[in-house]
Amino acid sequence: MDKVLVTGGAGLIGSRVVRKFLEECWKVTVVDDFSTGEPENIPSHPNIQVIIHDITVNKGLEKLFTDVDVVVHLAAVSSIPACEGDVGRAFEVNVRGLENVLNASAEGGVDLIVFSSSAAVYGEGKRLSETTPPKPLSVYGHTKLIGENMLRCLSEEERVRAAVLRIFNVYGRTRLGKGVYGVVDQFIDDAVNRRPLRIFGDGEQVRDFIHVDDVADAVYKIVEKFGKRFDIYNIGSGTGLSVKELAHIVLDAFKKEKLNIVYEPIREGDIRYSVADISKARTALGFQPRHDLREYVVTRAKNRRA
C-alpha cells in the first residue's frame, strides 16, 4: 500500500486531501500542530495516523518522513492579513518550515513532493498562466514564491521530484470552527448570522473561486500522472467573479437582501484581478473542476432552510 504524508492535514484543504487518498486506498500520515486545523476534520480510519508536530521544529521531524512515497505540503500561514501582521512568523512557517520538510523528505527518500503554492505569487494580471512572470504584492505571495524556488533548486539537484500547485481562491468550508475563512464561506456565515457583509475596497476585485474538493482531486491527479522532475500548475475554475457580485449572490440565495454590505478600506496586498488559465492542468492532468460556485451557495441556503 502506497503511503502519503500530508502536512496541515487537519485544515480545510488538507482534510479533503486526506479523505481523497483514503478513498483511493492509500495509507495516510497527518502532520499538524493544530494551530488552525481541527481534530474533527480528520476522519476515523484504520489507514490513518495523526502526529502532532510543528514543522518549524526540526527535532523529531526527519523520522516522520521515512518510508513515505509522497509528501503533500499544505502547512502554512495562509492568511494574507496574518502574514502582513506578523512577517517573522510568516517566514518562519512558510519558508523555514518548508526547508525543514524538504530536508526531511530528501533524507527520507521521498519520491514526490506536492507543494501548495498560491495565485498570490502572480500579483496583478488579467489571465494568469504558468508562464506569467511572478510579481507578488504581499508577504504571503513572497513566501510562496521563495518556496517554489526552493523546490526548483532541490529538484535540479535531483534530491526530489516536485510539483507546484498555484491554488486560487478556495471555498467549501461547511462547518464552523477556528482558522481562516475564504470570502465565500465568510459571506455565507455572515448571512446566516444576520451580520453585514464586509467588503474591503470597492468590491470590483475579481477572483477565481475553486471548490476545495476540486483542489483535492487536482492533488491526487498530480500524484497519479506527474512524471517530471519539476513543474507548476494553476488550480482554479478558470472563470472570474467580482466580490460585489458574490455578495449579492449570497444575499439573494439566503433571502437576506435587506442586510447591509459594508465597505471598508482595501487591505494591504489585495489584488485587483486574479483569474487562472487552467489549460495546462486540463491537458497534462485531465483536471476539470466539477463544482459550480452559484450552485454551492444555493445548496448551502437550501440546507439551511430545510
- pLDDT digit string, tens, across residues 37-93: 889 999 999 999 999 999 999 999 999 999 999 999 999 998 888 999 999 999 999
Average pLDDT over residues 110-129: 93
- End-to-end CA gap in the chain: 42
Domain limits, CATH 3.90.25.10, in the chain: 171-207+239-305
C-alpha–C-alpha distance, residues 5 and 146, integer Å = 22
C-alpha–C-alpha distance, residues 127 and 104, integer Å = 36
Unique residue bearing C-alpha cell 539537484: 157
> Is 3.40.250.10 the CATH classification of the domain at 3-168+211-235?
no
Pairing label, strands 27-32, 48-52: parallel
91 vs 95, 99, 116, CA distance in Å? 5, 11, 15
Does 122 qualify as catalytic in the annotation? no
Q: pLDDT at position 180, please?
A: 57
Model confidence at 1, pLDDT cuts 50, 70, 90, reads confident
Segment 22-31, tens digit of pLDDT: 999 999 999 9
Q: pLDDT at position 125, please?
A: 80
> Which residue in 140, 220, 233, 296 is the catalytic one?
140
Q: What are the residues whose beta carbons fall under 8 Å from the beta carbon of 295, sequence distance 6 or more?
A: none
- The mean-pLDDT minimum among 116-125, 167-176, 245-254, 280-289 falls in 167-176
Starting at the earlier edge strand, list the strands of the sheet with 112-118. 48-52, 27-32, 3-7, 70-73, 112-118, 161-167, 230-235
Joined together, the cell numbers standing for residue 150 give 526552493
| CA nearest neighbour of 151 among 206, 197, 94 | 94
Contact 34, 52 (CB under 8 A): yes
pLDDT at residue 300 greater than cutoff 80: yes
Model-level pTM?
0.94
Q: Which helix (H) or strand (E) holds 31?
A: strand 27-32
pLDDT at residue 305 greater than cutoff 70: no
C-alpha–C-alpha distance, residues 106 and 62, integer Å = 9
Q: Which overall architecture, per CATH, does domain 171-207+239-305 show?
A: Alpha-Beta Complex (3.90)
C-alpha–C-alpha distance, residues 152 and 159, integer Å = 10
Segment 148-181, tens digit of pLDDT: 999 999 999 988 899 999 999 999 987 655 555 7
C-alpha–C-alpha distance, residues 215 and 19, integer Å = 12
Domain limits, CATH 3.40.50.720, in the chain: 3-168+211-235
195 vs 20, 187, 262, CA distance in Å? 34, 9, 10
Contact 131, 125 (CB under 8 A): no
SS3 (DSSP) at 99:
helix
